């Protein structure tokens, strides 16, 4: 899931060259519009809503949230 999120970030034009699991979306220089775009792409890709992500969410936290959502809906 982490690799997929990084790939989606790259698709929307976010520089992911310095991304790590501890990097926040804010540190990737995202704004609320790009975060919403990512959430829609994640939803389209996985069927899970990424509504709890904020700019201060780390990539690892986003993966954890999506993994938990998938487990609950399985």
Residue range 5-54, pLDDT digits in tens: 999 999 999 999 999 999 999 999 999 999 999 999 988 887 877 778 99
3-state secondary structure of 49: coil
Please say if the pLDDT value at position 74 is more than 70: no
**Predicted pLDDT at 49:** 76
**Predicted pLDDT at 45:** 83
More confident residue, 69 or 23: 23
| Residue 18, CA distances (Å) to 30, 44, 54 in order | 14, 26, 19
Closest to 9 (Cα-Cα) out of 51, 47, 49, 62: 62
The pTM is what?
Answer: 0.88
Q: How far is CA 1 from the centre of its chain?
A: 9
């Amino acid at each position: 899931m982490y690799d997929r999120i990084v790939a989606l970030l790259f698709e929307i034009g976010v520089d992911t060259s310095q991304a790590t699991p501890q990097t926040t979306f804010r540190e990737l220089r995202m704004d609320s519009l790009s975060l919403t775009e990512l959430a829609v792409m994640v939803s389209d890709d996985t069927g899970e809503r990424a509504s709890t992500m904020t700019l201060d969410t780390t990539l690892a936290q986003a993966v954890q949230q999506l993994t938990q959502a998938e487990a609950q809906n399985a």
